[in-house]
Amino acid sequence: MLYAVFMSSALPPFPKPEESISEPQLLEVRSFGDKPCLRADAARNRAKLLEAAARLIAEHGVAGVTMEAVATAAEVGKGTVFRRFGDRTGLLMALLDHSAQTLQADFMGGPPPLGPGAPPGERLRAFGVAVLYRSAEQLDLQLAAQPDPARRFSHTALLALRTHVTMLLRQIVPDADCELLSQPLMAYLDPALINHLTRQRGMPMERLEAGWIDLVARVTATPPPC
């Protein structure tokens, strides 16, 4: 299963610690530059371009996905690809749409412990594990789709994940500055860090999973699962 989140609009302001916060509604996922409603022909062209990009990844890896290559594979002009996705990052983010919708559905309305119904601490642990393995499954694509540093932390994909972590933290440690506390937790789940630890340092995913469980326990001052 592939997981990633990309939201289409800015999030509302964070509620104050004393205010309650509930599960947000399932958010629409779409790529850079997409308009809310596409004409039928535009939707077909978009699907055709994404299918071509997916074939290129299967045949040549993420490095083989350029705007020119996708245009050639889809038999359209290069300008069509740029108009639809804006740039290569937008195109790669669009390839993550399915996983984005899947992850949102899982943590907003899926079965516990990732979805509602489990204690917030269990949900937070399950969320981190899901994101870790999502990144490991599609690491090359995630790394290639990361936005530039100037917009990295304001990017809607990261905001969606951090909002969910903040919501869970407010249920576990309501007197903490949960908006800031979510930052070190999200840093642990950064694809670049996962790439460094697993590929460059050779750490197994089981160690990263155990580290996440331990980090949540220490940050929230709650006992880890038995």
**Centroid of chain to Cα 195:** 15
pLDDT at position 31:
42
pTM: 0.73
Task: Tell me if 226 sits within 8 A of 121, measured CB to CB.
Answer: no
Mean pLDDT, residues 7-32 = 39
Task: Report residue 7 as tokens.
Answer: 């939201």
Cα gap 95→37, rounded to integer Å: 18
Instruction: List pLDDT tens digits, range 58-73.
Output: 898 888 899 999 999 9
Beta-bridge partners for 7: 29
Cα gap 159→166, rounded to integer Å: 10
